[in-house]
Amino acid sequence: MVIDASTTLAWCFPDEHSGYADAALVALKGKDAFVPAVCALEVANAIVVGERQKRIHQAEIARFTQHSLSAYDAAYLELAIRRNAPLAKLDRRLEKAAHLYEYLDLGAG
């Protein structure tokens, strides 16, 4: 089954509860689920935004909110860390997070 981000997010946010999403989850039992590569970023970003809007609490979400980065910015940081490559950036939150990994920081953007 191919799952879209809105179905996944209905499982994350109580105010988006959906009988359809619940039925999809039941139908997945013992089967494979498929998503496009962008789905992880879309879901992660929606969770970060949801946390900022107080729709979900910090204790309920994963570690990627640690630096208040968008999922997209977190993906750039993760790639730089994985490749041990310098990170060119102008975004202040990304700059602050990259600073924790000094070898990645090209200096103030």
Would you say residue 2 has pLDDT above 80? yes
The mean-pLDDT minimum among 13-22, 24-33, 53-62, 100-109 falls in 100-109
pLDDT in tens, 50-83: 888 988 777 666 544 667 787 788 878 878 887 8
Confidence at residue 93, expressed as pLDDT on a 0 to 100 scale? 87
Are the beta carbons of 61 and 68 closer than 8 angstroms? no
Distance between CA 96 and CA 109 in Å, rounded? Answer: 10
Residues with Cβ within 8 Å of 42's Cβ and at least 6 positions away in sequence, in order, are: 5, 71
Residue among 47, 89, 83 nearest 65 (CA): 47
- Is the Cα dihedral 30, 37, 4, 10 positive or negative? positive
Verdict on whether the full-model pTM lies above 0.75: no
Q: What is the 3-state composition of the chain as percent helix, strand, coil, each rounded to the nearest 5?
A: 60, 5, 35
